[in-house]
Structure 1
Amino acid sequence: MIYMKELMKGFPEGFLWGGATAANQIEGAFDEGGKGLSTSDMAAFKDPYATGKVDNFTFNVTSKELKEYLANPEKYKFPKRWGIDFYHRYKEDIALFAEMGFKVFRLSISWARIFPTGLEDEPNEEGLAFYDKVFDELAKYGIEPLVTMSHYEMPITLVQKYNGWQSRELIGLFEKYGRVLLNRYKDKVKYWITFNEMNMSLHSIYTGAGILGDLVENKMQEGYQAVHHQFVASALVVKAAREIAPNVRIGCMINQIESYAKTTKPEDQLQALKANQLNMFYPDVQARGEYPSYMTRFFADNNINIKMDKDDEKILAEGKVDFVSISYYMSHVAEAREDATDVACTFDSAIKNEHLELTEWDWPIDPTGLRISLLKLYDRYQLPLFVAENGLGAKDVLTEDKKIHDLYRIDYIRKHIIAMKEAIKDGVEVMGYTTWGCIDLISCGTSQMSKRYGFIYVDQDDEGNGSLERYRKDSFYWYKEVIASNGENLGE
């Protein structure tokens, strides 16, 4: 007899609560431990407030800028080079995570710390040893690491020599890197993600693919070609994981942006469907092991020709992921218009939803969109899901008595946890939830410090000034209760 699944009324036992970071935004020590320069080390700080647009992505770099930055580094500020000094303070920070009760900590490994140029035959032992120490410290508190292999950075040498993922040469170099990580940490890391937010390669080709955009004629063509190379590299690493560490679980990740039709016009409804297809194209390939049929017409309509080697399709079919992870910050609005495809590929859409509040950075706040996303993704793949990023960037104020009263952050995260809980009741299998920037860090796009996400305040400003002292925010104590109650005590 076949029985229906039992209704889940709350978060499952063993749910992985925690927080998320990226090496290039927290570690610092860019020239220590044998590390080479990375693409993130070339993200020069430009005051976003001076432009009148605070969500001003400064991460794109041209070939001219790269030459200038390498020749005259003293003229510019590169905040990701100093981060928040996690490289030296990891014990202190992990102790704070443990105090909150973290079950999991998402971090990334710097490719340039393991292979300084990406071209070496042998890895940098000092870099490997650093992550050994981090994983050992996490294990001391019973915190599982969730490790991203490539989170918006690669050795800058690979940009100079190959223009990043524009070249197939990076497939073998990444597989070598992935195999080193799997062999070294197979007994310390159970959960892996190959690439962070692979769909952002089309939004920022330098950020996601290490490509100097001024050196390519057709960014859409080269962006999707770079994504194909990443697909193959990811599948090869997944296959390697089955061989090297069969007990680990390895997943893919996208920035999930649910698109709503602006009106009930059929044309707007169709555009919303197409926008969502473009967003889910990436896990479609990585979870199903093949290119979806809808991309055939999209490529034809946009004169995109994906060059594949004869074994690529076989590799994709054999390298399917175990779970799908997402970052979720906002939803979009889709409308049938001439630039509809361009709008669908952006991170922060110019079309705003009149029914939603906006953050200080004009990002729509839409907890229901998270529930919708989880339902659609689970219906589509029937694989476990992991909410690997979700959080609110805000300008926090440190009071004279060293307190941070961030009730706005608590409210934001509470609503998204409720939405996630409702999705679980709807039958979605969610593995875990890691809030973005659980400790204040350097912003990805703007390289600001003042755009803060964390439960832990770090005393540092946009110019790199400050004591780097850590202070617990009000949200620190709130999230501690959330974890202790397995999501039941949300302080409402």
Structure 2
Amino acid sequence: MKIKIPENFMLGTSSSAWQIEGTAGKEAGQESWAELFFQSDPSRWYDQIGPQKASDFYHRYKEDIATMASFGLNTFRFTIQWARFMKDPLKGIVDPKAVAYYQDVIKTIKSHGMKPIISLEHWDIPAVLLEKYEGWISRETLSLYTDYVKKALDCFSEEVELWFAFTEPNIPIDNGYIKQIWYPFVHDPKKAYQAHFHKIVATATAVKIAKEYPKVKMGAMVHMTPVYPASDSVEDQQAAYYTDLFEVRLYLDAYCKGKIPEEIFTELEKYNCLFTYTLEDLQLIHQYPIDILGIDYYFPIRVKARKIPYDQPFSSKIYYEDYLWPKREFNADRGWEIYPKAIYDIGMRLKNEYENIDWFISENGIGIEKEGRFRNKAGIIEDDYRIDFIKRHLYYTIKAKEEGCHCHGYLIWSFIDNLSAINAFKNRYGLLELDLNTYKRKPKKSLYWLKDCIEKGIVE
């Protein structure tokens, strides 16, 4: 498996603010979703480690960015944390310390010849909006987000071209209001789909606002889970169709085609879960599709027709049962199937069904427990499994580009071992190892391998 890295191809890493920054520099009242989640029950989090320090990027960003650049990476996607940026999100007051911090992060990235990409929200909505308005369930949050977008663009639009309204907008909603595994731990599908809809409207609003800034392209990053049916049977194909409708097309069609699929409305109405909307909302979505799409890909969904009756409140699970593909590769530490070819399939779908929209892989990576067991005598973690994972996923990304897809890059999750919700540092994703005792960073074998690929211009 060998392929040439294209010219002007973004090859770098992705991050999110609450997972790497820590809470340093924030004051009372600037808590985010992550702090609220952790404080609600610290015992849920692995080793009771919360977001207080994370990877300490807030203090070490100059070091971390310099390290990325020294290994040849040319792109870094980070998040402006809404709760940090706004000293008072209810009154629209910006925190000058946060502005200075993010300005210097951008300056540091560019000084090393790297391209900065900004995400405006990676789940980390200000805690006060959750407590006061139930977050994205309310129109008030939509209005306050609009103010946040304008102020962030005012501060940084001259220095950064690529912006993203959201990263994985569905994940905190589905996990918090459908699966009950994240804060606020409820199953209320009507509230969930109201929140989904408001995030879709918010994205169109961000695109509209961005039109006022000539240098800016505004996109969104979706958590893409390609759906594969167990067989060609009508029943399995139907299960896959409806799973894809709710897991993929709800956001993808709205973002890229400017229209929420009609069947979303009919199905949600059938199950008494239809969100409130206005004609103006639908017109806004139609008029302002995104400029560029980020694809966060980790695993596919494989489905078969439901045989066992579903007796829970509505979710996409009503349409299918999980299918375990006999030929699957499996990351037992994370519980996810490994299927690199899905990236190629995603690319072909975007080319054929979505007018070949501009896109790139905005996240892809593998989390492994107890990586210390792979440490060699020189003290370096020999993460050959990560090299193999990245190599094959990057290969299919470039292959899609070679076959005419408008694919512009591949970003790895993540440059450093980072915090995850509930799992904390249990699963390690980084190209850099983080020592939680000293907070020293150490490159893993995968980072040296990646540098070699970049220098040669070939993935092999």
TM-score for the superposition, normalised by structure 2: 0.90
Give the equivalent residue in structure 1 for 2:243: 275
Match of 1:441 in 2: 418
Partners of 1:13 and 1:208 in 2: CA distance: 42
Say yes or no: does 1:311 pair with 2:270: no
Task: Find the partner of 2:184 among 202, 212, 216.
Answer: 212
Given the alignment, which residue of 416, 423, 427 partners 1:451? Answer: 427
Partner of 1:238: 207
My pick for the range that moved more, 270-279 or 99-108, is 270-279
CA contact (8 A) 1:164 1:211 kept: no
State the alpha-carbon separation in 1 of the partners of residues 300 and 443 from structure 2. 30
For residue 358 of structure 2, the aligned residue among 384, 391, 395 is 384
Task: Decide whether the 8 Å contact of 2:14 with 2:78 is kept in 1.
Answer: yes
Q: In 1, distance between residues paired with 2:6 and 2:91?
A: 44
Match status 1:322 vs 2:328: no
Partner of 1:164: 135
Rate the CA distance shift 1:353–1:342 in 2: closer, same or farther, 3 A. farther
Return the alpha-carbon distance in structure 1 between the equivalents of residues 452 and 29 of structure 2: 38
SS of equivalent to 2:286: helix
1:481 and 1:250 mapped to 2: Cα distance? 33
* Structure 2 CA distance for partners of 1:35 and 1:145, relative to 1, 3 Å: farther
CA contact (8 A) 1:36 1:113 kept: yes
1:95 paired residue among 44, 66, 73: 66
On the 8 A contact 2:24/2:58 being kept in 1, the answer is: no
Residue aligning to 1:21: 15
Matched ranges for 1:158-197 at <5 A: 158-197=129-168
Give, in whole Å, the separation in 1 of the partners of 2:20 and 2:208.
Answer: 30
Distance across 2 between alignment mates of 1:314 and 1:485: 48
Q: What does residue 194 of structure 2 align with?
A: 225
Equivalent residue for 1:37?
A: 31
8 Å contact kept, 1:30–1:37: no
Cα distance between partner residues in 2 of 1:411 and 1:85 = 29
**Structure-2 residue corresponding to 1:50:** none
Alignment of 1:333-352 (within 5 A): 333-337=302-306, 338-339=309-310, 342=315, 344=317, 351-352=323-324
**Larger CA deviation: 177-186 vs 279-288:** 279-288
Which AA in structure 2 matches 1:192?
W
| 1:80/1:447 contact within 8 Å kept | no
Give the aligned residue type for 1:233. A
Deviations 1:338-363 (A, max 9, x none): 449746599xx854322111112221
Give the letter for the 2:20 counterpart: I
Q: CA deviation at 1:307?
A: 1.1
Q: Which amino acid is the alignment partner of residue 169 of structure 2?
A: M
Letter in 1 for 2:298: Y
Match of 1:357 among 306, 319, 329: 329
SS state at 2:329 partner: coil
Confirm or deny: 8 A CA contact 1:166 1:211 kept in the other structure.
no
**Equivalent pair of 1:34/1:126 in contact (CA under 8 Å):** no
Of 368, 378, 384, which residue of structure 2 is paired with 1:401?
378
Paired with 1:203 and 1:400, the residues of 2 have a C-alpha distance of: 44
Return the alpha-carbon distance in structure 2 between the equivalents of residues 260 and 315 of structure 1. Answer: 32
Q: For structure 2, list consecutive stretches of 5 or more residues without a partner in the other structure.
A: none
SS in 2 for 1:81: coil
Q: Corresponding residue for 2:400?
A: 423
Tell me: CA distance 1:211–1:394, structure 2 relative to 1, closer, same or farther (3 Å): closer
CA distance in 2, matches of 1:208, 1:116: 32
Q: CA, structure 1 residues 234+295, in 2 after alignment: closer, same or farther (shift >3 Å)?
A: same
User: In 1, distance between residues paired with 2:249 and 2:453?
Assistant: 31
3-state SS of paired residue (1:41): helix
Deviation at 1:233, TM superposition (A): 1.4
- Give the deviation of 1:400 after TM superposition: 5.5
Name the SS of the counterpart of 2:265 in structure 1. helix
Query: Could you tell me which residue of structure 1 aligns to residue 257 of structure 2?
Result: 288
User: Match for 2:428: what amino acid?
Assistant: R
Q: Provide, for residues 79-120 of structure 1, a one-character-per-residue CA deviation record: whole Å limited to 9, x for no partner.
A: 212101000000110011101212110111111111144213
Q: Residue type of the partner of 2:302? A: V
**Deviations along 1:433-460, whole A, 9 cap, x unmatched?**
11011211112x3332131111110101
User: Residue by residue, what CA displacement relative to the aligned partner does 1:242-273 show, whole Å, maximum 9, x if unpaired?
Assistant: 11x22221111211111111123210012112
SS of residue in 1 equivalent to 2:368: coil
Partner SS for 1:457: strand
Residue in 1 that maps onto 2:341: 368
Identify if the C-alpha distance between structure 1 residues 411 and 211 changes in structure 2 by more than 3 Å, giving closer, same or farther: closer
Q: Distance in 2 between matches of 1:410 and 1:91?
A: 26
- Counterpart CA distance in 1 for 2:145 and 2:53 is 25
- Structure 1's 34 and 284: CA in aligned 2 closer, same or farther, altered over 3 A? same
Pair 1:154–1:117, CA change in 2 (3 A): farther
- CA deviations 1:272-327 (Å, max 9, x no partner) are 12222221220211222222223232223322222113421222122211111111
Q: Determine which structure has the larger strand proportion and give its number.
A: 2
- Is 2:252 the partner of 1:252? no
Identity, % of aligned positions? 28
Residue-by-residue CA offset, 1:119-158 (whole Å, 9 max, x unaligned): 1332111111110010000011111111110001111111
Change (3 A) 1:343 1:238: closer
